[in-house]
Structure 1
Amino acid sequence: MPSPFAAERLPDGRRRYSRSAVVARRRLLAGIVVAGAGAAVGVGRWRDGGGSAVADAEEVAGTSALHSTSEAASPWVVVNKQHPIDPADYAPASLVTVGDKQVAGVVGPDLTALLAAATADGVGLTLTSGYRSLDYQRTVHEQAVARDGRAAAERVSARPGYSEHQTGLAVDFGSSARPECAVQDCYRLTPEARWLAAHAGDFGFLLRYTEQNSAVTGYAPESWHYRWVGRELLERMAERGVTTLEEFFGVSGGAEYA
């Protein structure tokens, strides 16, 4: 018996959902919202034409949960120059240490597996940054502004409270082969960067800032900066052909601060 959630596959590869399938999906997701309302990870809100938007029923069907794009503890939270972390002094409830860096607990297993896989392939990945507190962000940002001027600094350094690192979901990778390329443009030429580009997605990590999507994300390319979102979401982003959380979820972005 076919699944009530299944789509009809059209000759050109597109999917078409019958009315009964759409209704079934909406009922399923409504149940998820109700069941997860009190969970530690915020459940997503429906798109309502304003404020926080989340993927609609067809986008997230098949995923194990529907997560918020605005709750700081959510694995799908979108943090950029338009959307700061709320509350501003947020810190993950659970932090674990991988290598010598702290990350949100949900990231730990996949990050550990990624590093082990790189080692098995003879690639010397290191970690240069994980979770950053609000105070630490303030220090980093002030140093960047003093060194490069505000306009140049803010192409690569987030203002305090606007950094993905504060969620504990973002990591900066380094290179054993060329340690001098840490957080530098030349990192993209390292064997570690090439390995990450090919394999990071297998462990749920998204290359967040690229030359192609900088107008959307608001940041210059950073071949070392990866954000954990989980494999399920990455699969759906690939199906859509989008590389940013902003485009997938319909959340505003860009180079200007709100």
Structure 2
Amino acid sequence: MRKKRWTYLTVCTAVLALSIMMAACSDGTMKGGESGTKAGGSSQIDPVTSNNPSGSQGEEELADPALAALVNKTHPLQNSYAPDDLVAVDVPTVFKNPEVNQLREDAAKALKQLFDGAEKKGYKLYARSGYRSYETQQALFADYVSREGEAAANRYSAKAGQSEHQTGLAMDVTSDSVSKGLQEAFGETDEGRWLADNAHLYGFIIRYPKGQEGITGYIYEPWHIRYLGIELATKVFESGQTYEEYTSGKQAK
């Protein structure tokens, strides 16, 4: 018990330092792109069943069904879930924290291609926060609650188990035009517009679109991208729907 207590305190200390750094680089209105999901969840992203859009459309199953997993406030992850193929991203980053500079291998490769594509158009992007463990998210959310209350924190941050960051398939992206922070204004920058228009070409979607808080559960986050693979990401993009709507089987004909 003593060892477990000290381990938790160590994690909390590290996460508090990370959250302070995140807030320092933000404009104070968006608190670090914490969009996510729910503590003590029961679903593991292994074989994706009802949350697999491929299955709901009668299409061929994805090679890796976990890529299509819907993770949100009602579809949480187990606290024990951690990807087994995390790698360090090979792109410019904001923080030195090794945990948040990781993604699953396929997502990391796609992120590199996305950043290279942006650079060819004259836009420099930065990776700000990728993978976060259950414990990291738990401490981060608790810190936001202590500062602003649970109701406020719930709009922009995920409870542990409810965060897409735990999947290793999500990354918060930023630019110099917003001082490497996470601001809604990023969506109106040249970099943000390019990302919104082209992310799907590299297998990503803007996960929390503007005006869809009632569906996604989170405020507009033009910086938060989720890897689905090029084919699925393109279908979601072309549908004009949130991922919640798309996976519900209500795809536009």
The verdict on a shared fold, with TM-score over 0.5 as the criterion, is: yes
Q: Percent sequence identity over matched residues? A: 36
Q: Which has the larger radius of gyration?
A: 1
> What count of residue pairs does the alignment treat as equivalent?
196
**Matched residues in 2 for 1:217 and 1:127: separation?**
23
Which letter does structure 2 place at the counterpart of 1:248? Y
- The residue number in structure 2 matching 1:188 is 187
**Cα distance per residue 1:63-104 (max 9 Å; x no partner):** 562664xxxxx001111011111x212111011111341001
8 A contact 1:187–1:223 mirrored in 2: yes
Q: How does 1:100-111 map to 2 (within 5 A)?
A: 100=93, 101-111=101-111
- The residue number in structure 2 matching 1:247 is 245
**Matched residues in 1 for 2:227 and 2:236: separation?**
13
Confirm whether residue 89 of structure 1 aligns to residue 64 of structure 2: no
Mark the runs of 5 or more structure 2 residues left unpaired by the alignment.
Answer: 1-44, 94-100
**Matched residues in 2 for 1:142 and 1:57: separation?**
36
TM-score for both structures, normalised by structure 1: 0.69
Which letter does structure 2 place at the counterpart of 1:229? L
8 A contact 2:103–2:169 mirrored in 1: yes
Question: SS state of the match for residue 57, structure 2?
Answer: helix
| C-alpha spacing 1:172/1:42, structure 2 compared with 1 (3 Å) | same
Which letter does structure 2 place at the counterpart of 1:126? Y
**Cα distance per residue 1:23-50 (max 9 Å; x no partner):** xxxxxxxxxxxxxxxxxx84443xxxxx
Mark the runs of 5 or more structure 1 residues left unpaired by the alignment.
Answer: 1-40, 46-51, 69-73, 252-258
Larger proportion of helix: 2
Alpha-carbon offset, residue 164 of structure 1:
0.2
| C-alpha spacing 1:245/1:67, structure 2 compared with 1 (3 Å) | farther
**Matched residues in 2 for 1:238 and 1:161: separation?**
26
8 A contact 2:203–2:234 mirrored in 1: no
Alpha-carbon offset, residue 60 of structure 1:
5.1
- The residue number in structure 2 matching 1:222 is 221
- The residue number in structure 2 matching 1:119 is 119
Partner residue of 1:55 out of 53, 56, 63? 53
Alpha-carbon offset, residue 148 of structure 1:
1.9
**Matched residues in 1 for 2:112 and 2:194: separation?**
15
- The residue number in structure 1 matching 2:212 is 213
8 A contact 1:127–1:171 mirrored in 2: yes
| C-alpha spacing 1:237/1:185, structure 2 compared with 1 (3 Å) | closer
**Matched residues in 1 for 2:154 and 2:218: separation?**
8
